[in-house]
Structure 1
Amino acid sequence: MTVLPQSRPLTADDLAAIPDDGHRYELIDGTLIVTPAPSWRHQRAVSRLLRALMDAAADDLEVLAAPFDVRLADDTVLQPDVLVCRVTDLTQRNLPAAPLLAVEVLSPSTRLVDLNLKRARYEAAGCPSYWVVDPEAPTITAWELRDGVYAEVASVAGGEPFAAARPFPVTFAPRDLVD
């Protein structure tokens, strides 16, 4: 059994020592965030979004699904549901930089973290685009960095088309991710 230190913020090395038990472990500013396995509707949205992004991505870009570590700092390791990055930025174990796009698919247990803490950490790290998909609504909200601060560039619901320009052109409707 791994015993985590309680007298200091956790680090990426501490996170690496946790055995794989089916939970998702992330660090935000040295605080451990543990989430359960997602619902089938969540996974459907992730799978369909992956397909749309993979079909549109250039060969020099990689589209990945969680779990895959994005190491923003020694005390912040996130696992976005979907990410897009340059192939040349990857290591065998993680992405040691902000992705070009991070996407979180909301779950009841992750909603506040995804909309607040993660969004703030990606913004501070310089991630150019951040999307949040709500599979229950269904909706997608997208932010892009403008002078170092996220600005909302789209909020789309149901069958309305969502057309992104960054990190590459792609169009889909939120409903298509879950129906």
Structure 2
Amino acid sequence: MRYELLDGSVIMTPSPGRWHQTAAFELARLLRNSKPDDLVVLMAPFDVALAKDTVLQPDILVARRGELTDADLPAPPVLAVEVLSPSTRRIDLTLKWDRFREAGCQSYWAIDPFEPTVTVWELRDGDYHEVLVAHGAERVSVTAPFPLEFTPADLLQD
């Protein structure tokens, strides 16, 4: 089980399944191989302490190296990625999306491994704006938090 703290309430979700883990691992590998030296890519479980009553664990996070502690990230990540599962979809696309937006996380991505689909939001003027939705073999091409290209189908290579 994974445990997160959201506005003082404990959220407990089951362990992720095979396709969730496959997509998360492949995207983390792509991000790690492309990132600049001042950024770090980490996979859950790793705490992002947004407030005393809100400690979240995105499936993948990209953080500034200097903002990390050995125990957690006490600041918003540069990028938070959630891989959607039936048990977490609503939380990932509403509550966590909103908390990362409020904290100032510059980019938020949702990966649906069952479609497969990648949706990218970027923070502008305090709000998330959807900048990209790609399905299957369609190309994902982003510049933030750093240049990266892949397809949603690439994430399901096991």
TM-score by structure 1 length?
A: 0.87
What residue number does 1:20 align with?
Answer: none
Q: Taking every aligned residue pair, what percent have the same amino acid on both sides?
A: 57
- Match 1:43 to one of 11, 16, 21: 21
Q: Displacement, 1:60?
A: 1.1
| Rounded Cα–Cα distance in structure 2 between residues aligned with 1:125 and 1:60 | 21
- Match 2:55 to one of 70, 77, 96: 77
Q: What are the superposed Cα offsets for residues 141-162 of structure 1, whole Å, 9 maximum, x if unpaired?
A: 0100010000000011000000
What residue number does 1:147 align with?
Answer: 125
**Partner SS state of residue 52, structure 1:** helix
Q: What are the superposed Cα offsets for residues 5-64 of structure 1, whole Å, 9 maximum, x if unpaired?
A: xxxxxxxxxxxxxxxxxx111011111100111001100001100111011101111000
Q: Displacement, 1:170?
A: 0.4
What residue number does 1:161 align with?
Answer: 139
Structure 1 unmatched ranges of 5 or more: 1-22
Structure 2 unmatched ranges of 5 or more: none
| Rounded Cα–Cα distance in structure 2 between residues aligned with 1:163 and 1:28 | 32
Q: Displacement, 1:164?
A: 1.1
Q: Which runs of 4+ in 1 moved over 2 A?
A: none
**Partner SS state of residue 159, structure 1:** coil
| Rounded Cα–Cα distance in structure 2 between residues aligned with 1:32 and 1:154 | 32
What residue number does 1:115 align with?
Answer: 93
Structure 2 residue 128 is the aligned partner of structure 1 residue 174: no
1:133 maps to a residue whose letter is I
1:166 maps to a residue whose letter is A
Count of aligned pairs: 157
- Give the RMSD, CA atoms, in angstroms: 0.5
Q: Displacement, 1:178?
A: 1.1
| Rounded Cα–Cα distance in structure 2 between residues aligned with 1:82 and 1:141 | 14
| Rounded Cα–Cα distance in structure 1 between residues aligned with 2:37 and 2:124 | 26
- Match 1:91 to one of 61, 66, 69: 69
Which is greater in Rg? 1
What residue number does 1:133 align with?
Answer: 111
1:130 maps to a residue whose letter is Y
What residue number does 1:6 align with?
Answer: none
Specify which structure has the bigger relative contact order, considering alpha-carbon pairs within 8 angstroms and separated by 6 or more residues. 2
Between Structure 1 and Structure 2, which shows a larger proportion of strand residues? 2
2:78 maps to a residue whose letter is L
